[in-house]
Amino acid sequence: MTTGTPPPTVPKRSRARTLVPLGIAAWLILEIWLLTVVAGASSGLLVLLLLIGGLLLGGYVIKRAGRRAFRNLTETVRQQQSGETDPAAGSGGGEGNALIMLAGLLLIIPGFLSDAAGLLLLLPPVRTSAARLFERSIDKRIRAAVPGGFGEGFQQARIRYPDGKVVQGEVVRDDGSGSHARPDDLGPRPPLTR
């Protein structure tokens, strides 16, 4: 038996959902290959020491950036509670903590490519340009977003699944105050029909 509704279409997979797993797999293969090449050219002990050094340096970087972020947060809360509204006083030195923490995380991840990327992110000019690039990307996505898309998402879901069940009912207010009640709300209503 057929109904008048078309079969649901499978949404098209985005390019990011296709390329990100492939990129991660390629990065892992390259990291493992580079570790074996360096271990073959030198000793396995040197590779182990380099990986442990990256782990320790990454932990130190994350700890330091976390302390700085917590200190900035505490200072901002203190300024707001005391009534100071100078935005320049609270924002100095707070920029880049997220990228510094990302650099520490990249240093902790075993591998030489991630360590190189983490060390590059520790350099202030690279960190500044990465922050600008990220900010431009976010601004571009925000400008490309359709206004009012959230409500239309619900409408699309309703159109996509037209056989969804609707439970009819009514709201019964039992607050005891008649100040909000309108004359139509006092009696029972007939059920809603299409």
Tens of pLDDT, residues 32-50: 999 999 989 988 888 899 9
d(CA 6, CA 3): 8
pTM > 0.85: no
Provide the 3-class DSSP secondary structure of residue 169.
coil
Burial class (CB in 10 A: 0-12, 13-18, 19+), 118: buried
In angstroms, what CA-CA distances link 114 with 7, 15, 52, 95?
A: 46, 24, 14, 22
> Which is higher by pLDDT, 105 or 155?
105
Q: How many CB atoms lie within 10 A of CB 29?
A: 10
What is the mean predicted confidence (pLDDT) over 149-170?
54
- Model confidence at 167, pLDDT cuts 50, 70, 90, reads low
